[in-house]
Structures are given as C-alpha cells and as structure tokens.
Amino acid sequence: MRAAQIEAVRRSTPWMMAANVANALILLAVFRGSEMFVAVAAWATAVSAIAIYALYRWFATRQRAKPESASLRGVRRTVTHTLILSAVWSFAPMLFSVADADQKAIIGSLVAGMLCGAGFALATIPAAALVFTTMLAIGSVVGLALAPGWSSVTLALLNVLYNSVVLASSLALARMLSERLEAQMRSSEQRDYIGLLLNDFEEHASDWLWMVDENWRIRHVSSRLLEALGATESQFVGRSLLRALPLPDRGQTSDKDRDGLRELVLAMRARKPFRDRELVVSIGGAPRAWSLTATPVFEAGAFRGYRGVGRDVTQAREARRRIEYLARYDVLTDIANRAAFNDEIGRALYRLRKRGEPFAVLLLDLDHFKSVNDTQGHPVGDELLRHVARRLESVVREDDFVARLGGDEFAILLGAPATATDIEAIAARIVAAIAAPYLLSVGEAVVGVSIGVACASAESDVDTLIRHADLALYRAKREGRGRYCFFEPELDAAARRRHQIEMDLREAIETDTLSLAFQPLSRTASGRIVGFEALARWRHHELGPISPAEFIPLAEDRGMIGSLGAWVLMQACKTAASWPEEVRIAVNLSPVQFRTPRLFDDVRRALHATGLAPQRLELEVTESLFLDATPAVDASLQALRQLGVRVALDDFGAGYSSLSYLRRFRFDKLKIDRSFVDSIDTDLASAAIVGSIIGICGELDITVCVEGVETEGQRAVLERLGCDEVQGYLISRPVEAGEAAALLDRREVRTAASSGF
C-alpha cells in the first residue's frame, strides 16, 4: 500500500519538478532589475537545485521494477524532501512586502498555484501534502504580516481559508485513493487465489475445465481431457464443440442418450446454465459417459460463450444402472422382483381405468418346496427356483409379467385379454407345467404350485389386489394344493374371522382358556374303554365354540402350535394320571410340531411332571407328516418311541393312504378314518378294504382302531372284520374330564353318551 502511495507521488515527480523550476524562473523574471534580484536569484537557484536533485533521483531509479513494498523510511524520505522544498518556497510570499503591484499579483498566483498543485499531487501521502501546504501558509502569513495594509489582512485570511480547503480536499482524496487501492489489492489477491485453485484443479482433479466462445468454438480444455482423448490442443481448440466431441455412431446410443445431447444443445441455444448433463461419447471405440456443467458468460450484456467443468461418469453410471437393476430384479432367477411387480400392477390399473383393459393378478406358492430345500440343501433349492422361473416364463404369453416375490413365492400379471376362461386355461397350464419333474444337477425333483387369482376392477388398488390374490391362494392351499382358486368376496369375511381368531388364540393359549375334551376308545367286541383321545376345545368370548379343525391350522401357520401342543400334552397327561393304570391317553401331534426342536422335551417334561408311564401315552400323527418328511422327522419319531411312548397313525385313508408308511415306521396303532366307516355296513367295497387293512395290520402286529363309528350296524361289521378298537359317537362323544372319569367307572359303554361336548 505504502509502495503504491509513494509510486503515485513518484510518477508525478518530473512534472512537479519542472513546474517548480518554471515557477522559480517566472519569479526571477518578474524581479528582473529589482534590488531584490540577487536574493531572488539565490532563492531560485536553491529551488532549482532541489528540483534537479529530485529529477536526478527519479531518473536514476526510473528503470527499476516497481517495488512491491516500501518501508516507513521511504515515506519519511518523501516527507523530508517535501519539507525542504516547501521551506524554500515559503520564502516566496515573503517578497510580498517589497514587491510592486504587478509582482504581488504574480506572487499571489504562483503561491496559490503551488498550494493547489502540491496539495493534489501529494494527496496520496497526506503527511507530505500537510507539510507542503502548512509551510507555504506560514510563509504567506509571515510575508503578508510584513506588508501592512487591509489588503494584506484580507489576503492572509483568504490564504488560511484556501489552505484549509486544499488540505481538507487533499485528505479526502487521499482517503479515497487508499480505499480504492485497498479494494484493488483485495480483488487482485482474490484473483491470485482463484487462479491458484484453478491451477491446482487442472493438475489434480479428475474433472476438467472447458470454455467455448459465443460461436461454441472451443477456447480452452484441460490437458487432462486432451490426454484422455489422445488429442492435441491444436486438434481441439478452435473447433466447434459439437464437431470436436467424439460422439458415437447412432447405432451405439440409446434414445435416452440422444435425448441427453438434445437437451444440452437446447440449453446452450437458450444460453441457459446447465448442470450435470449426461452425454455419451466414444473414446477408442468404447462408449463413455460424460457429465457437463456450465454457465454462460456475459460481458457488458453480450453473450461470450460458456465456461464449465466436465467429468467422466462412466463408472458411476454403471454403478447406478447396477443398483437400478438390483432394485427391480431378482438376482437369483433374473426376473422382476416385488417392487417391479407392484409398479407393473400400478401401470396396469392406470390402463384399466383409462382404456378399460382388464387384467388379473396371480400369486403362486410352490408346494413342498421347503422339503427340497431342507433335504437337498439351499443350492439345489436355488437351482429349482431358477427352473421354475424359466417354466413360468415359457407358459405365459409374451405380454404377461412374471416376478418372484421372495422365497418360493412367484406372481404373474395377466394382461388383456383376460376373461375368466383365459385365466383358468393359463392357471391350469401353469399348475401342470410346474408339476412336471425337474432334472437338477443332483437328480430329479418334484414340486407343485398353488395359485390364487384376483381379477382387477376399476376400484382396485395394488394392495387390495395382492391381498385378494393372497386370500385365494390361501384357499387353494387349504383345499389341497396343486390347484388354483379365484378370489371371492366371502374369502374376505373368512380372512377377517381368521385374523380375529389368530389374534385371540395367542392370548387363549397364554391364559389357559383352552380346555380338553376326552373321547373314549373301546374294545370293539367287549365295549371296554381302553383309552381316551384328548381333543382341544376353545370357546371364544364372541364367536362361541371354535373347532380345532379351524384353530389348529391357524396355530400351525402362526407359530403357536408349539406352545399349544405343549399345553395339551401337559393337561392330557395330568388328567390321564388320575385314571386306572391300564387306561391310555391319545394326544394329536401336528406335523409342524416335528419341525420344532422342542417336541421331544415337551413330551418328556409332561411325562416327568405328571408321573404318567410312557406306554400309557399314545401320540397320533397323520400321513401328512411324511409328505415333506426329512431325516429329522424319522429321527424324532424314533426318539419318542425310545422314550417308551406309543405312536399311532391317525386318519388313515383320508389322504394319501400309502401302505409304504407302514414299512417306513413301526407304528403301534393305525386309526382308520371315519370316511371308510360311513357305508361299511352297506358297501361291500368299503368293508373289503377295511378288512384287508385289518388283515395287514394283524400280520404286522399293529392295533387297528376305526374312527367315527356311529351306529351299532357299523360296529357289528367291524367286530366281524376283527377290528381291535372303535371310537365314535356310538361309544361316546368327546366329554369333559369329569365325565370321562364317570365313564371309566362304568367301564363298559355300549350306547352313545347323551352329552355332547
């Protein structure tokens, strides 16, 4: 700052000094022939000497580079120089007292001129300006005081006034100059800083800078970009941006890429700023994605081109595409995922409302997939899922949309035409296609599929459609799997009831609100009670009595069967412990219980806690246990038998009725399902079948019990066929514990008990 101030004064040195010499010579000329001439000549010589010295100094240092800084000494030197010069000049007004009128006028003008000239020329160094004007003022006042008269007083006063005005203006000027200097310095500092940053950016950042002129001709690009392009500056700079860009051939770009370029051109035509515009270029034959950001440059309102940054975003774009893919596709099967499926339903709903195009949603659940997964391992399960996905794709029509929702759940959106008949035909095709055996790397596998169908209406929404299809799927599974079901409104009501039961069942198990009923099993011939079957009962506070056939499957689905089963075991054993020793208790076990590790402990704990002998406990299992049989199921059955408890095969004949189960596991008892009993006294075939089963069991030393015996006629046939035990309303309906004890007291019961429970 100081250097700049001194420099400003220095710049005016030649003129100032020339003016000094000229003024001194004028005064000398004016006093020519006067008696004061010698004194004036001496004075003029002094002024000229000082001025010439200053000029010499100026000339000597003229070639030197402008100093960046100056010390306080430099300022002091200037002030001192000014002091000497002004001290000499202060003698000039003293000539006033000896001057004639003409001379006075010249002296007055010269002094006033010097005052003003110095005041402004020295303004950048206020101290120097102050010294000069003050010295001149003192000289003037003294000179005027020596020349008495009114005009001198007036002139002295005027002098002081001028002096003050000049000083004040020169100080104001000085302040203004230094402010401007400061602002200049700040902005140049900023420019330096920005320049530094830009240099650093060009050298180190992966982004590059670019600049085009008003005709979009390239004026500058970072060397980094030239390197990437393998081009030289001359190949690039000066060319039109659109020509210089290595745009790929039409065939290599997508519509979206071309849109990117079009939008960029439109923005530039409109001279608008743009940000992160993506552009596909071809470098060395490979497509790369660039992102450009720029702002238009205007100078004095005129468009001067664009200045911006760019960077290669190929990797980021790939990553983004990958993420987008992952968000919408199932990695395992390479078909759409749940999110994409929901979106597709949204679009189909829009088309339905807008153009009345019907569509249907199919939810698919593989039957017995879990057993493949459990027995063969997850990699095989994955392989199977991939095969299923391919088959689904091959069965549906081109415009139908197949997705995997997760696990073994798939979904299909059937577009128009989608009449009930079309849908049925496709659903039947799917069921058949999925059921065909699969050739996997480990061998053959078989799964089935259950399908729930919901047809969309204009009022549908994504969630309700899926829920409806889900309810239909639930029904398809309940009705025996390997089939499809359409959603019907009653399913909704059923679902609500199921939901309520589910909610309340957990509480019922925890608060002991369930109870047990006991139904006797008696010897066919003698009617002697050999045991009871424990049957779970639940009276709901709102819905009344709920059949176990309804709440047991729900408990299975919702993971409550473990605790429910444990409770039944404990209660049944407790009740049975109070009966005579030869009376057994039968407890039903769900296949789901075999999938939980707690079953064995629950049985052991019940026996231990109640002191019931193990051979008095009979566990009833159904054939469905063997459907997704795993080695674990066999192992736990074995373990239970080793404990000493008996195992009965329940409901034989109701389901798959394969005699191979009898070979697979050594059952103690076989309970023939009541469906065989209905017509046993009228239908010869039923009697023959039951007779031969009884025969086989006799050979294998398995006790046979027939369930659901309601009439004496049925019992009589069974007695003739050699059936060991019977169970049914003829003997007794299920009764509560107290009544069971009473029945035992009578022991032999032939007629149906009156109370139903």
Q: How far is the CB of 744 from ligand C2E (least distance, A)?
A: 18
User: Would you call 208 helix, strand, or coil by DSSP?
Assistant: strand
CB nearer ligand C2E, residue 589 or residue 694: 589
Q: Which region, judged by CB under 5 A, interacts with Mg ion, from 34-42, 184-192, 453-461, 620-628?
A: 620-628
Could you tell me the smallest distance in angstroms from the CB atom of residue 591 to ligand C2E? Answer: 9
Smallest distance, Å, CB 671 to Mg ion?
5
User: Counting Cβ atoms within 10 Å, is residue 553 exposed (0-12), middle (13-18) or buried (19+)?
Assistant: middle
CB of 671 to ligand C2E, least distance (A): 7
Binding of Mg ion at residue 588 (CB under 5 A)?
A: yes
The entry of Mg ion, ligand C2E, none near residue 460 (CB within 5 to 8 angstroms by kind) is none
> Which of ligand C2E, Mg ion, none interacts with 729 (beta carbon under 5 to 8 A by kind)?
ligand C2E
Q: CB of residue 533 vs Mg ion: minimum separation in angstroms?
A: 6
Q: Is 254 exposed, middle or buried (0-12, 13-18, 19+ CB in 10 A)?
A: exposed
**Residue 745 C-beta: closest distance to ligand C2E, Å:** 22
Is residue 618 within the footprint of Mg ion (CB under 5 A)? no
Contacts of 691 (CB under 8 A, 6+ apart): 721, 722
Please state whether beta strands 617-622 and 401-406 pair in parallel, antiparallel, or not at all (unpaired): unpaired
- Single out the residue of 344, 651, 724, 725 in contact with Mg ion (rule: CB under 5 A): 651
What phi and psi values does residue 520 have, to the nearest 5 degrees? -75, 150
Q: What secondary structure does DSSP assign to 542-587, as a single string?
A: TTEEE-HHHHHHHHHHTT-HHHHHHHHHHHHHHHHHTS-TT-EEEE
488 versus 550: smaller Cβ distance to Mg ion: 550
**β-pair partners for 294:** 274, 308
Minimum distance from CB of 532 to ligand C2E (Å)?
12
Find the shortest distance in angstroms from Cβ 567 to ligand C2E: 9
By beta-carbon proximity to ligand C2E, the closer residue of 82 and 714 is 714
**SS3 (DSSP) at 391:** helix
Q: Are 411 and 364 in contact (CB under 8 A)?
A: yes
Least distance to ligand C2E, CB of residue 548, Å = 4
Residues 6+ apart with CB under 8 A from 555: 505, 509, 561, 564, 590
Tell me the C-alpha distance between 447 and 367, whole Å: 6
How is the beta sheet containing 302-312 ordered, strand by strand? 218-221, 208-212, 302-312, 286-299, 274-283
| Binding positions for Mg ion, 542-571, rule CB under 5 A | none
Which helix (H) or strand (E) segment is 213 a member of?
Answer: none
The stretch near Mg ion (CB under 5 A) out of 203-211, 236-244, 650-658, 723-731 is 650-658
Nearer to Mg ion (CB atom), residue 416 or residue 627: 627
Kindly state the tokens that stand for 671: 């309970």
**Nearest to 734, CA basis, from 582, 475, 517, 414:** 517
Residue 628 touches Mg ion, criterion: CB under 5 A: no
Sign of the four-CA dihedral 591, 593, 597, 598:
negative
Contact 429, 451 (CB under 8 A): no
Q: Which does 549 bind (CB under 5 to 8 A by kind): Mg ion, ligand C2E, none?
A: ligand C2E
> In the bound complex, what is the minimum distance in angstroms from residue 734's beta carbon to Mg ion?
11
- Closest approach of Cβ 386 to Mg ion, in Å? 40
**Which one of Mg ion, ligand C2E, none is in contact with 536 (Cβ closer than 5 to 8 A by kind)?**
ligand C2E
Residue 710 binding: pick among Mg ion, ligand C2E, none (C-beta 5-8 Å cut-off by kind): ligand C2E
| Residues 401-440, mask of contacts with Mg ion (x by CB under 5 A) | ----------------------------------------
Cα–Cα distances (Å) from 476 to 361, 367, 713, in that order, read 15, 11, 37
Residues with Cβ within 8 Å of residue 403, at least 6 apart in sequence: 330, 335, 336, 337, 338, 340, 341, 344, 410, 411, 412, 413
Site stretch for Mg ion (CB under 5 A), options 48-56, 283-291, 645-653, 720-728:
645-653
Distance CA 452, CA 717 (A): 44
In angstroms, what is the minimal distance from the CB of 683 to ligand C2E? 17
381 binds, among ligand C2E, Mg ion, none (CB under 5 to 8 A by kind): none
Min dist CB 620 to Mg ion, Å, is: 4
Judged by beta carbon distances under 5 to 8 A according to partner kind, the member of ligand C2E, Mg ion, none in contact with residue 311 is none
Q: Which does 568 bind (CB under 5 to 8 A by kind): Mg ion, ligand C2E, none?
A: ligand C2E
Report if residue 650 touches Mg ion, rule: CB under 5 A.
yes
Rounded CA gap, 374 and 370, in Å? 6
Instruction: Find the residue with minimal CB distance to ligand C2E.
Output: 728
d(CA 72, CA 185): 19
Q: Does residue 620 interact with Mg ion by CB under 5 A?
A: yes
Q: Could you tell me the smallest distance in angstroms from the CB atom of residue 335 to ligand C2E? A: 38
Stretch that binds Mg ion, among 32-40, 236-244, 588-596, 749-757 (CB under 5 A): 588-596
3-state SS, one letter per residue, for 137-160: HHHHHHHHHHCCCHHHHHHHHHHH
| 167 versus 535: smaller Cβ distance to ligand C2E | 535
Residues that bind ligand C2E (CB under 6 A): 519, 535-536, 547-549, 552, 568, 588-590, 620, 650-651, 674, 707-710, 727-729, 734
Shortest reach from residue 555's CB to ligand C2E, in Å: 8
Cβ-based nearer residue to Mg ion, 5 or 588: 588
- Which of the listed partners (ligand C2E, Mg ion, none) does 535 bind, with a CB threshold of 5 to 8 Å by partner kind? ligand C2E
Q: Report H helices in 356-488.
A: 369-376, 378-395, 420-435, 462-478
What is the distance between the alpha carbons of residues 722 and 698, in angstroms, rounded to a whole number?
9
Q: Which is nearer to Mg ion, 454 or 592 (CB)?
A: 592
Return the number of other C-beta atoms located less than 10 Å from residue 258's C-beta: 13
Nearer to Mg ion, 402 or 529 (CB): 529
* Nearer to ligand C2E (CB atom), residue 665 or residue 729: 729
Q: By CB under 5 A, how many residues form the interface with Mg ion? A: 5
Q: Applying CB under 5 A, does 727 fall inside the site for Mg ion?
A: no
Shortest distance, position 388 Cβ to ligand C2E, whole Å? 31
CB of 645 to ligand C2E, least distance (A): 15
Closer CB to ligand C2E, residue 459 or residue 507? 507
Q: How far apart are CA 106 and CA 102, in angstroms?
A: 6
Q: Is 365 in the site for Mg ion (CB under 5 A)?
A: no
- What are the structure tokens assigned to 424, written together? 């049925």
Angle, CA of 132, 138 and 143, to the nearest 5°? 125
Residues 577, 611 contacting (CB under 8 angstroms): yes
User: Residue 725, interface with Mg ion (CB under 5 A)?
Assistant: no
Closest to ligand C2E by CB, 277 vs 616, is: 616
Tell me the three-class secondary structure of 597-634, residue by residue.
CCHHHHHHHHHHHHCCCHHHEEEEEEHHHHCCCCHHHH
Q: Which of residues 312 and 650 has its CB atom nearest to Mg ion in the complex?
A: 650
Instruction: Pick the closer one to ligand C2E by CB: 79 or 505.
Output: 505
Q: Which of residues 692-721 bind Mg ion (CB under 5 A)?
A: 707
Residue whose CB is less far from ligand C2E, 296 or 531: 531
Which one, 510 or 550, has the nearer CB to Mg ion? 550
- Virtual torsion, Cα 162, 163, 167, 168, nearest 10 deg: -40
CB 115 within 8 A of CB 155: no
Q: At 198, is the secondary structure helix, strand, or coil? A: helix
Which parts of this chain interact with Mg ion (CB under 5 A)?
Answer: 588, 620, 650-651, 707
